[in-house]
Amino acid sequence: MSTSSSSPGSDLLTLQRRALQVLADLAPAALELGEVFAAAGHELALVGGPVRDAFLGRVSADLDFATSASPDQTEQLLARWGDAHWDIGKAFGTIGARRHARPAGPGAEPRPDVVVEVTTYRTDAYEAGSRKPDVVFGDTLEGDLSRRDFTVNAMAVRLPSLTFVDPFDGLADLAGRRLRTPVTAEQSFDDDPLRMMRAARFAAQLGFDLTPDVRAAVEAMAARIEIVSAERVRDELVKLMLATDPRPGLEVLVQTGLAEHVLPELPALRLEIDEHHRHKDVYQHSLTVLAQAIDLETGTHEQPTGPVPGPDLVLRLAALLHDIGKPPTRRFEPGGGVSFHHHEVVGAKMAARRLKALRFDKETVQAVARLTELHLRFHGYGDGAWTDSAVRRYVTDAGPHLERLHRLTRSDCTTRNRRKADRLSFAYDDLEHRIAELREKESLAAIRPDLDGQQIMEILGLSPGPLVGQAYKHLLELRMELGPRTPEEAEADLRAWWAEQQG
């Protein structure tokens, strides 16, 4: 691989060696694509994340290319090269294609399909007040790279020659683990304010630091993120939250003021700690709960397995947001105490509103709100044994999120008092044991009344209507309180309830 710029230092040499190995293993079909474009008189270069990842020793599943060809020309070339192609991004200059893996030789590892996206050289900019960028096609690779978000993503490899192009010293920034913009940070963020969210996301995903000028620009321009659609902001937040360690990215959001416009409930957790330290730092507590919840996910990023395979977005959002109801419910009590009465209920409503505003899907909104509402339910269990009825209600209220609730509740213990932490852990061990015991005796996963609606109508001689629903609800309450009932007992319970209604 030849290079159009070089930088001294052993770190750079290490990165270059890694990249050579990754690029040497680049799918032959991708290299052949470079030959196809060159034969048609067009430039083609691997750009952005795949190049950055090559220097980090990672292989990207999807390959992004930039080209001098127009979208129509690109579509024609990809139609010949691939087994399938799509033009859903054509308005932005992007054409996608897939080429099925060709049979490998004897004893060779089978290669995966090759998926590519090829985008015409371009520049993006927002009109004043617009939520979508205008796209203007360019004519040079260097010009296209200049519009990229950060220098570590503004590197390219020309194909088929494998010439490395790095006009903004992105390789040096990669070695220094820093995020810097190809043009001035102010111009870059003015062109596309979403890049401020990407700065936070890359801080989480890559563990890189923002350069002082980038940080200052985010602080000065944070409010401009409001012109970006909620869906695009959400997508960046999701990628941040699914990183191996989201904390650095969340800290960037809060420290720069960007969170005030994206997730204001998070910086609001930085409650002023009074001189007597009557409550813990809720913001730092929430970040710790998030980290502990991630540690309790099952499996790994590469091999997610078990009851809560990581990365689990619902668990992570619930861990981060579980205490957002504390700021509006904080009260200083006589005698020096601090209370947050019903903060779990208030927080559940706040979490639902924020996630809806960010255009999260209904299932995610409901799940995070439910976990937030239930995260305190366990407290008090260790003070006295719950009845079987209480255990059944706990399981039923958690529904399909019971395993997440287990992990959220355990993660919510951040005390430095070892004896208190052990007591809470032992108590939750006991609760899980109780749940397992009841599972063996009863169908806790789907608690239902011992009589269904049809049976209720037959016994009472009713037609479908509200009374049947009331009877069903009464029998469900008895099932919770008393456990499974025989058909005879259930019928007796139903008739006794019906007699009360008639009286």
For 152-210, give the DSSP string: GGS-EEEETTTEEE-TT-HHHHHHHTEE--SS-HHHHHHH-THHHHHHHHHHHHH-PEE
Which pLDDT belongs to residue 503? Answer: 66
* End-of-domain residue from the set 430, 446, 462: 446
* End-of-domain residue from the set 225, 247, 262: 262
The domain that holds 85 is classified in CATH as 3.30.460.10
Which pLDDT belongs to residue 6? Answer: 45
On whether both 154 and 48 belong to a single domain, the answer is: yes
Which pLDDT belongs to residue 7? Answer: 45
In a domain, 119, yes or no: yes
Rounded percentage of the chain residues whose pLDDT exceeds 70: 86
On whether both 79 and 198 belong to a single domain, the answer is: no
Select, from the ranges 105-119, 153-167, 273-287, 328-342, the one with the highest average predicted confidence (pLDDT): 153-167
Question: How far apart are alpha carbons 264 and 324 in whole angstroms?
Answer: 10
On whether both 191 and 144 belong to a single domain, the answer is: no
Domains in the chain, number: 4
Q: For residue 198, what are the domain limits?
A: 178-262
Least confident of 142-146, 172-176, 225-229, 448-452: 448-452
C-alpha distance across the termini of the chain, in Å: 90
**Is residue 2 scored above 60 in pLDDT?**
no
**Is residue 52 scored above 70 in pLDDT?**
yes
Whether the CB-CB separation of 414 and 466 falls below 8 Å is answered with no
**Is residue 414 scored above 80 in pLDDT?**
yes
pTM over 0.95: no
On whether both 92 and 234 belong to a single domain, the answer is: no
**Is residue 94 scored above 90 in pLDDT?**
yes
Mean of pLDDT values over 244-268: 97
On whether both 388 and 470 belong to a single domain, the answer is: no
In a domain, 487, yes or no: yes
**Is residue 131 scored above 90 in pLDDT?**
no
In a domain, 484, yes or no: yes
The secondary structure of residue 151, as a DSSP letter, is G
List of residues 6+ apart from 244 with CB closer than 8 A = 205, 301, 311
On whether both 239 and 118 belong to a single domain, the answer is: no
Of residues 44 and 137, which shows the higher confidence score? 44
User: pLDDT tens for residues 464-475?
Assistant: 888 878 887 778
On whether both 375 and 394 belong to a single domain, the answer is: yes
Question: How far apart are alpha carbons 103 and 421 in whole angstroms?
Answer: 57
Which pLDDT belongs to residue 20? Answer: 67
Which pLDDT belongs to residue 371? Answer: 97
**Is residue 3 scored above 50 in pLDDT?**
no
On whether both 356 and 495 belong to a single domain, the answer is: no
**Is residue 357 scored above 60 in pLDDT?**
yes
What does the buried/exposed string (b/e) look like for 252-277 if buried means 16 or more CB atoms within 10 Å of the residue's CB? bbbebbbbbbbbebbbbbebeeeeee
Residue 46, beta-bridge partner list: 65, 157
Select, from the ranges 109-113, 482-486, 495-499, the one with the highest average predicted confidence (pLDDT): 495-499
In a domain, 40, yes or no: yes
In a domain, 110, yes or no: yes
In a domain, 77, yes or no: yes
Residue 63, beta-bridge partner list: 116
**Is residue 323 scored above 60 in pLDDT?**
yes
pLDDT category at 276 given cuts 50, 70, 90 is very low
Which pLDDT belongs to residue 434? Answer: 84
Which pLDDT belongs to residue 429? Answer: 86
In a domain, 271, yes or no: no
Within 10 angstroms of residue 195's Cβ, the number of other Cβ atoms is 25
pLDDT category at 443 given cuts 50, 70, 90 is low
Which pLDDT belongs to residue 54? Answer: 83
On whether both 352 and 473 belong to a single domain, the answer is: no
Which pLDDT belongs to residue 384? Answer: 62
* End-of-domain residue from the set 132, 155, 176: 176
On whether both 400 and 459 belong to a single domain, the answer is: no
On whether both 56 and 172 belong to a single domain, the answer is: yes
The secondary structure of residue 486, as a DSSP letter, is -
Which pLDDT belongs to residue 275? Answer: 45
On whether both 434 and 485 belong to a single domain, the answer is: no
In a domain, 246, yes or no: yes
Q: Length of the chain, please?
A: 503
Average pLDDT, the chain: 86
